[in-house]
Structures are given as C-alpha cells and as structure tokens.
C-alpha cells in the first residue's frame, strides 16, 4: 500500500492513493493524474521515479484496473499512458483470464477487436500511431492464445473475412496473423505448455486455407489491376506467405499456382523481389 507522505516526497499536486481507488469511477481529472504519474516515471528525478514506479505497479496489479482501460485510452493524450493502459490489460489477460467470468472476457475481447478495427482502418492513425497499434495487436494476440480455437473458433474466418473491406485494415490483419504464427511456431515452446502449442499448431494448419485464399485474392487483385492494391499491402502479403511457408502443408506450394504467380508477377519488380525471395 502507498505510504503516508508519498505526496510530499514526490512533490505531487495530488494524493497518488486516488489512483488505486477503483471504487469510484474514473474521469478526465483522474486520467490526467495518471498522465502525470507516467510522465514522472520517464522524466522525474530518482525519488520521483521510485514513487511513480510504486504507484503504477499497484495500479497495474489491482484486480479492477482493467475496468478503466477504455476510459484511459479514450481520454489520455499521452502515448506512454496509453501503452501503460495496454500493459494493464495484458497483465489481466496473462494472469487472471481463466478466472474471469465469461461476460467479462467477452467484453474485453469485443472491446479490443473493435478498437483494432477502428484504428487500423484509419490510414492516418496507422501512420502516426504505428507503435500503439503494434502494442494493441499484441494485446489481441494474447487474447487469441487464450480463447482460440476452443472459445473463438471463427477467429481466422472472421479476421480474413473483414480484410476485404479496407486495405489498411487488411494489412494490419495480416500483421496480426503473422504475430500469431510467430507466437505459436517460434516462441510457443518458451511461453506455453506443449499441449497448448500442439493444439494451436493443428488449428493453424487446419484453417490455413482461409489465410491462403486471402493472400491469393490480394496478389491476384494486384495482377489483374496493377495499382489497385497498395504497395505496402502487397509486401505484407508476400511477407506473410514467406513466414507461413516454413510450416504450411506443402500442397499449397506444389498443388496451387502460387509459385507461378510469384515468379511471373512478383520476381522482376525490385520493390517485391526481397519479399518474394
């Protein structure tokens, strides 16, 4: 618990104990206090940083802290505070997800999904808030690892289906699928039990056809109408295929026109050759 005198030691204009009181709703003034505390963490003197670390750790570990993440993200103008809010969310996903009521898990999942869609569909935001979106994608992948496939069987069909509505959204969705693939095939054995990794691998293999169809659609749209698909989306698609080719069934390589499409249409253009190699 915060010690008496914390406010005086840190020279704060407010009592930091307010930030660990989640019995009362959070408003803009409380979010501004959090902004101040996060700023101290990165720019204050040693004693101020120590106090800030103590306060922020208590906020992050509070069982009700996740309930105010939406208010923080909607209100704060600080990128560092928004990152902190996502860390709070990741903390509850990794440590308390299994004990949360289903309604709360569904609420968190739907909130993160809708926020990812809203942000990634806005090209200007994607450009200016790239690091925040990457962190948000990571948060979504943490949820996917907890929920998919047993409680979120339609995750891959849903994410691939929504991709055709907006190129910026599509590009980000492919990044999410890449993250999931890396988590399962590259880092899974270090962070998950072997049975969980095996189940996720089997699910990715079983549903890869949907991912392949999306990639094939993007590449052939580019071939059919050059310039209709953003260069960055084509590159991300090629990178996705390159990453997935390490583990997908070989039939997608030898029993489809993938190799021919890559060699004929994506080998000569210099901007795609590295991604295609």
For 53, how many CA atoms within 13 A lie in the half-sphere containing its CB?
Answer: 9
DSSP for 210-222 reads HHHHHHHHHHHHH
| 107-140 confidence digits (pLDDT tens) | 999 999 999 999 999 999 999 999 999 999 999 9
- Distances from the Cα of 48 to the Cαs of 55, 85, 120, 200, in angstroms? 11, 20, 36, 44
Is omega for the bond preceding 68 within 30 degrees of 0, making it cis? Answer: no
Q: Spell out the domain ranges in the chain.
A: 13-44+56-95+102-143, 148-276
Using alpha carbons only, what angle is made at residue 153 by residues 74 and 168, rounded to the nearest 5 degrees? 45
Question: For the chain, what percentages of helix, strand and coil (3-state, to nearest 5) are there?
Answer: 75, 0, 25
At residue 256, does pLDDT exceed 70?
Answer: yes
Alpha carbon distance 269, 223 (integer Å)? 12
pTM of the full structure: 0.89
Examine the pLDDT at 4 and tell me if it is beyond 60.
Answer: no
**Percent of all residues in the chain with a pLDDT value above 90, rounded to a whole number:** 69
Dump pLDDT digits (tens) for 207-232. 999 999 999 999 999 999 999 999 99
């Amino acid at each position: 618990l915060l010690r008496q005198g914390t406010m005086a030691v840190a020279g704060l204009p407010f009592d930091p104990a307010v930030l660990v009181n989640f019995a009362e709703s959070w408003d803009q003034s409380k979010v501004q206090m959090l902004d101040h505390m996060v700023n101290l963490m990165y720019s204050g003197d040693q004693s101020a940083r120590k106090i800030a670390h103590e306060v922020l750790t208590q906020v992050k570990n509070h069982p009700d802290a996740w309930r105010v993440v939406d208010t923080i993200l909607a209100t704060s103008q600080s990128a560092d505070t928004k990152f902190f809010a996502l860390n709070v969310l990741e903390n509850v996903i990794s440590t308390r997800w299994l004990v949360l009521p289903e309604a709360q898990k569904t609420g968190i999942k739907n909130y993160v999904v809708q926020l990812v869609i809203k942000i990634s569909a806005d090209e200007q935001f994607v450009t200016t808030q790239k690091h925040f979106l990457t962190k948000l994608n990571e948060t979504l992948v943490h949820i996917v690892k907890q929920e998919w496939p047993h409680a979120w069987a339609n995750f891959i069909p849903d994410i691939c289906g929504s991709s055709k509505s907006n190129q910026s959204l599509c590009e980000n969705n492919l990044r999410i699928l890449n993250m999931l693939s890396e988590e399962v095939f590259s880092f899974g054995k270090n962070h998950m039990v072997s049975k969980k990794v095996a189940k996720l691998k089997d699910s990715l293999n079983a549903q890869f056809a949907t991912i392949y169809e999306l990639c094939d659609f993007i590449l052939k749209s580019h071939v059919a109408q050059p310039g209709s698909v953003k260069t960055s989306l084509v590159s991300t698609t090629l990178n996705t295929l390159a990453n997935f080719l390490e583990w997908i069934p070989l039939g997608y390589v030898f029993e489809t026109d993938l190799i021919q499409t890559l060699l004929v249409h994506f080998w000569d253009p210099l901007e795609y050759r590295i991604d295609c190699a």
